[in-house]
Structure 1
């Protein structure tokens, strides 16, 4: 009986130490998301340059909730630091890809239907993650596939929008290269989580 009583206090502090950082990060992440949503609302009070509708706030709210929710799931899948950072980077990259695509577009303007190709990259990420069951090796392959898809779409975009040269072309090359780099870095971090368990 004494052994059981002595075991219980030894386990509780350890569990508390593991749970505290997770709760701290959760508050920070959701707080940052809420702050992002407040920025345009505050800016609208001081300038006419920012003019968001209720629909804009709704879309951004949904996007932020999905991104934060995905990160919460990732933190439950693994306590490995490399895994969590890789997941965070992939989620931030996906969020920015959707945001930029909806706001201004990557190929031409946001109204160009060719920009829909970028949602295929996100589908690769979702389907690949589900097939991989969020295991680090499978996530490595999924993020690498997303990086390659960004480069392929970037190549196709040059042929679809040749009139944009040189400014539009340089923007396409930069953005496609940037997102390919983000997803490749995420893949590398997932790979590190396999080798550094």
Structure 2
């Protein structure tokens, strides 16, 4: 009996997948429902970004059976998404400020670090802590250009710290 269940494929439709992709569909529909002045290209970009974060979350969730590691991956993916979204919408440090490109360095550390450590929980703690420090340094570095934006972007360091705490909990299990 155990051999049979071990060879059975994973369920493709689960409540979590329905909830996750349903949330993405709702988020994509909201601008149309609220009559935002979006063009077709805005909706395409939003669909690509939301689809990418959804696929990324699914991919990271499948890499580990540990719920804390999975949640850490979700927080990472959402933080990366929000960093890109805010920079595309209004910029962390002022609109159309080239300084905002420095936040891509935080994302490069997150993605590159994850690949380098092969998503091992104990090592992911260090990757997300590095992202937190870099986020705060880059954010506060823009204080002279846009104080509110600098503080707002440094606040994103908190999300990286939450991910680090989740990975640390996963490493202890």
Q: Given the two structures, how large is their TM-score scaled by the length of structure 1?
A: 0.80
Which residue, out of 38, 49, 61, partners 1:52? Answer: 38
State the match for 1:134 in structure 2: 119
Task: Tell me if structure 1 keeps the 8 A contact 2:136–2:155.
Answer: no
State the match for 1:4 in structure 2: none
Which residue, out of 130, 133, 155, partners 2:140? Answer: 155
1:13-92 to 2 correspondence within 5 Å?
19=10, 23-44=14-35, 50-92=36-78
State the match for 1:186 in structure 2: 163
State the match for 1:47 in structure 2: none
Residue segments in structure 1 that go unaligned for 5+ positions in a row: 1-6, 45-49
What do residues 79-135 of structure 1 show as CA deviations (whole Å, max 9, x unaligned)? 1110111111111111111111110111111x1111111111111111001001111
| Cα distance change on mapping 1:107 and 1:171 into 2, 3 Å | closer
**Corresponding residue pairs, total:** 173
The whole-number CA distance in structure 2 between the counterparts of 1:131 and 1:151 is: 23
Q: CA deviation at 1:178?
A: 2.0
The whole-number CA distance in structure 2 between the counterparts of 1:22 and 1:75 is: 14
The whole-number CA distance in structure 1 between the counterparts of 2:154 and 2:136 is: 7
TM superposition outliers: structure 1 runs of 4+ over 3 Å: 18-22
C-alpha RMSD of matched pairs (Å): 2.1
The whole-number CA distance in structure 2 between the counterparts of 1:128 and 1:19 is: 29
1:91-130 to 2 correspondence within 5 Å?
91-109=77-95, 111-130=96-115
User: Secondary structure, in 3 states, of the residue corresponding to 2:142?
Assistant: helix
Q: CA deviation at 1:67?
A: 0.5
The whole-number CA distance in structure 2 between the counterparts of 1:155 and 1:15 is: 52
| Cα distance change on mapping 1:83 and 1:22 into 2, 3 Å | farther
Q: CA deviation at 1:170?
A: 2.8
User: Secondary structure, in 3 states, of the residue corresponding to 1:108?
Assistant: coil
Q: CA deviation at 1:171?
A: 3.6
The whole-number CA distance in structure 2 between the counterparts of 1:120 and 1:98 is: 12
Q: Given the two structures, how large is their TM-score scaled by the length of structure 2?
A: 0.91
Q: CA deviation at 1:186?
A: 0.2
